[in-house]
Chains A and B, each alone.
Chain A
């Protein structure tokens, strides 16, 4: 195509849109982000905590919100919608309407307008699912980006009638309210588009039998998230709406608006099982007397770490699980709720609850149909975006990509993967336009503070109620004021919010601060945020210190405010003492070798290699077998009847045709040296070792099928794996008249606690094939939970319709496979009849667990990356960084991460490639300057530091004075092990110098 426009339109400001936008902007493209609501954040901002780590949702989201808000390459248009899209891939013309906010950019977010509004308290805030009140001029939530209030055009009296006293205008100190503001029509040119409009919760009124809308104490799960949330209607106290009492018995009803033909939503919403467990656990955390019960049909905890989450819920947290779908909810005179259900034994039971939470499903949002029409993309029967299994982020319009719940219900890690993947595709399409429309970020020149006395500013954060409810923040501020070198101290409700950043910048200038201490949460998530704020204020980023008074104080001392406050003061005193000693540090930047190494030539590896090559980067693809394909070579068809071998062939062809992908078969990586941007590795090939230099690594080493140790596998040749069954079906070999399939063989038990995710779908895939070929065949599927999540649910229905018999069993009632003479028999307790079912099978097909590779430990050591408890590679953050490792420059894709479908592998591979290419595209990598610092004169060259360094970041170099230790800056993580091992104390850690640490310790002891 003729020069494509180097800009991308991202529609939707939820986590999907945000991730896509950041990836694209970081990769050098201009991004226009359009969000319908007045602020970005989407549904994730409404959640209290996220599973399975129970991280505070907004805490992990807000750094990304602020990043979007301040990124020079992202133009954010909120309160806006796309009205027309014309043109074609590479050159789209998009019309956008920015609806009038009636509040200008001068807004400081002080809330005085909302306080003065005549409709104060009379309207309900949508962000809080209408559980909280708001005025006609409002901000959806305190950490909103942009932090600009908005006028509700439907209810505001001035807008409706023109006759209001406009107290808001009077009250505004910044003159930011402008009722004459009009809608703005904008036209922008972009090369590609990413659709990420997300989802809406199912409208529970449609299921009248549950009483939502009639009974006060029946709430939706989204409403419950707001109830749990510190910034919600009850400030984080779990109370019930009718009388504000603390509910004890809370029931979750799963599958509300999902897996339900009667309301038109046959699909499964994928996330509700796990989120109901999360809500139950958190509710119990808030109040130990809560007794949660979850009513469900199948328990679908198929994600990474979810199965152990489920086990903990039952064993440690005492959550009761009842496998039954209720018929209706009844209300008692006291507004309690009565539920009648059929127990597993077939008896009728009735129980009373104080509160009922409906686990509502995910639906395409209201405006999505129009959006689809505008873009010309096809939607499926349920209104989700149509995609193909081998092209999960592509719509049927070239140049328009999709990610997140819009293409089918999914959770946050999958959304983030798809978002990065969509960014990769959107960027690859216009790669020649990279860098043409963006500006280099210019920071204010740094002020030279050398020679100045320390002037420390202290900010103590409330973090909503996370800190504020358990620590007397004003007392800490007061205390801080009296500490040496502190010239200014103040409190913030949310130090991470955008307005707090503005305030911080102002104060730095006002008071001539040259050191900043924020006493709040963890530097792990928020240090970069504040560091950037310092840079914008003209201060070196490393003149920043953080005291964790949340994770290390308020969160663990919730029951003793006085002592918690004292401890917070101690922590602040210690940090102030250290801050006085911290020095500015210069960031190094190193060149990046623009070449990628992909380890593993299966689906994920091949896809990642092609994706990198599409972006113009050379790739070395290493595969240990004699052909590419990995596990894909054993897959023949999918649930949607795609021809997998054909697709495999096409991938192999494309790789062969590429000039810049070097394929090494029968090869293994034996050594990896160097650091991000500058790796040097050795590949053992049949022709001898080969050295390759590269800037990034993608680990796509896959997983293996385990060999079952039960059910006569390996003893009777009629007992086979699903893989073998699939092969026979694909090649037209007979499979017999009676096939019994057994699920969860080695998964979800002592041998592997996790769920292998794909087996339920595989069994159904094969069962459907067998029945379609021979309707008289008898197919039994013996399962524990049927995990056909998302849009796969309709295939489950189809299998049932075809006459497949499903028999459920529990871990303590596993089937028994025996031989009886010539016959192969399967016996299992039929739970509904209460008697034993006896099957004489021609074939028994097992679903073996998917295991991480046997050589994983060596691999992990070589890569210097960790493994999780199940032996799969452990990513940097389960939710928001699913393809990154904590080690920079190394990325992860495919089953090496966890068992997944082909579609999911492809999405993750694109995501890994996106992250890798962002790194490679930049051409340089900034090195964290908080690294080891060696005083050469003191070094005796003993080499202890080299041996002890876990990151291979130390080396001995021959210098004039002898052998001296030298740090490799880009590999050094600043962990301090070298400093601790040096017998001569010749090594100190920059930003954690001996002086600084000593000052901290002495401040703790009260020695000023």
Chain B
């Protein structure tokens, strides 16, 4: 398993994610990707720039979905994903993993659980970090 991530200075808020029924059914409608088609070949994980930092590897995430293990929604991996599409481009099964990651995030976000906490930023940082980063962050991590 990949190493623990050094987070920002936020604490993981107590999440209470509720998923009744199967994960794969929750994903339907959010993304139309063939998650079960994954062969666990490892190409996505090998090409992910942040694999080192993740707790679950990318293909493990898909395996969790296939085996209906809802803990995947509590992994750090889905939030470390930067949606860079490297996995989707190289997947030999043509699975758009980026969309699956987004869908998993959305399951959490749509339960009104936000994954961001900006209190630890200094004013200087708030000024110098490009605005586009904030916009992206809000769009990605806030339900």
Q: Which residues of A contact B (CB under 8 A)?
A: 209, 255, 259-262, 297, 324-328, 340-342, 345-348, 797, 800-805, 808, 830, 832-834, 837
Contacts and interface: CB of A to CB of B under 8 A. Distances in A.
B37 A324 contact: no
Contacts of A804: 36
Given A325-B92, A347-B2, 20 more contacts: A209-B90, A255-B92, A262-B91, A262-B94, A297-B39, A327-B43, A327-B47, A327-B86, A341-B42, A342-B46, A342-B51, A342-B59, A346-B1, A346-B45, A347-B1, A348-B57, A801-B36, A832-B60, A833-B69, A837-B67
Contacts of A262: 89-92, 94
Interface in B26-79: 34, 36-47, 51-52, 57, 59-60, 63-64, 66-67, 69
B92 to A, nearest CB: 4
Contacts of B1: 345-347, 834
- Which of A342, A808, A830 has the most chain B CB atoms closer than 10 A to its own CB? A342
A341 B36 CA distance: 22
A800 B36 contact: yes
Nearest to B54: A348
- Which of A259, A325, A345 has the most chain B CB atoms closer than 10 A to its own CB? A325
A297 B41 contact: yes
- Which of A259, A340, A800, A801 has the most chain B CB atoms closer than 10 A to its own CB? A800
Contacts of A209: 47, 90
Given A348-B2, A348-B51, A324 B42 contact: yes
B93 interface: yes
A209 B86 CA distance: 11
Nearest to A297: B41
A830 B44 CA distance: 20
A724 to B, nearest CB: 27
- Which of A328, A345, A804 has the most chain B CB atoms closer than 10 A to its own CB? A328
B69 A325 contact: no
A372 to B, nearest CB: 27
A345 B40 CA distance: 12
B46 A832 contact: no
Given A261-B92, A833-B67, A346 B2 contact: yes
A342 B87 CA distance: 13
Contacts of B44: 327
Contacts of A255: 92
Given A262-B90, A346-B2, A327 B60 contact: no
A833 B60 contact: yes
The 8 closest A-B pairs by CB, nearest first: A327-B47, A325-B41, A327-B46, A342-B42, A261-B94, A342-B45, A260-B92, A324-B42
Contacts of A834: 1
B39 A800 contact: yes
A112 B41 CA distance: 53
A346 B2 CA distance: 7
Contacts of B66: 805
B41 A324 contact: yes
19 contacts: A261-B92, A261-B93, A261-B94, A262-B90, A324-B46, A325-B42, A325-B46, A327-B43, A327-B45, A342-B57, A348-B45, A348-B51, A348-B57, A797-B37, A800-B34, A804-B36, A832-B63, A833-B69, A834-B1
Contact of B46 (A341, A345, A800, A803): A341
Contacts of B45: 327, 342, 346, 348
Nearest to B62: A832
B82 to A, nearest CB: 16
A803 B91 contact: no
A341 B44 CA distance: 9
Contacts of B60: 346, 832-833
Contacts of A832: 40, 59-60, 63
A1005 B19 CA distance: 89
Contact of B63 (A260, A345, A833): A833
B45 to A, nearest CB: 4
Nearest to B1: A346
A325 B64 contact: no
Contacts of A348: 2, 45-46, 51-52, 57
B63 to A, nearest CB: 4
B67 A805 contact: yes
A958 to B, nearest CB: 73
A962 B66 CA distance: 84
Contacts of A261: 92-94
A346 B94 CA distance: 21
B11 to A, nearest CB: 27
B33 to A, nearest CB: 11
A326 B64 CA distance: 21
Given A261-B93, A325-B42, A328-B47, A800 B37 contact: yes
A261 B44 CA distance: 14
A505 to B, nearest CB: 55
Contacts of B46: 324-328, 340-342, 348
A451 B65 CA distance: 89
Contact of A830 (B36, B67, B91): B67
Contacts of A803: 24, 36
A342 B90 CA distance: 14
Nearest to B64: A833
A225 B43 CA distance: 27
Contacts of A259: 92
A661 B79 CA distance: 72
Contacts of B2: 346-348
Contacts of B51: 342, 348
Given A348-B51, A833-B64, A327 B59 contact: no
A559 B16 CA distance: 72
Contacts of B42: 324-326, 341-342
Contacts of A345: 1
A799 B66 CA distance: 13
A114 to B, nearest CB: 43
Nearest to B45: A342
Nearest to B89: A262
A869 B47 CA distance: 44
A325 B64 CA distance: 19
Contacts of B40: 808, 832
Nearest to B48: A327
A860 B84 CA distance: 63
A506 to B, nearest CB: 57
B105 to A, nearest CB: 21
Interface string B85-128: 01001111110000000000000000000000000000000000
A204 to B, nearest CB: 15
Contacts of B69: 833
Nearest to B51: A348
A182 to B, nearest CB: 48
- Which of B40, B60, B92 has the most chain A CB atoms closer than 10 A to its own CB? B92
Contacts of A325: 41-43, 46, 92
A346 B37 CA distance: 19
Contacts of B41: 297, 324-325
A740 to B, nearest CB: 14
Contacts of B94: 261-262
Contacts of A833: 60, 63-64, 67, 69
Contacts of B67: 805, 830, 833, 837
Nearest to A804: B36
A737 to B, nearest CB: 15
A789 to B, nearest CB: 15
Contacts of A324: 41-42, 46
- Which of A255, A259, A262, A803 has the most chain B CB atoms closer than 10 A to its own CB? A262
A469 to B, nearest CB: 41
A778 B46 CA distance: 31
A293 to B, nearest CB: 15
Contacts of B24: 803
A675 B16 CA distance: 83
- Which of B40, B41, B64 has the most chain A CB atoms closer than 10 A to its own CB? B41
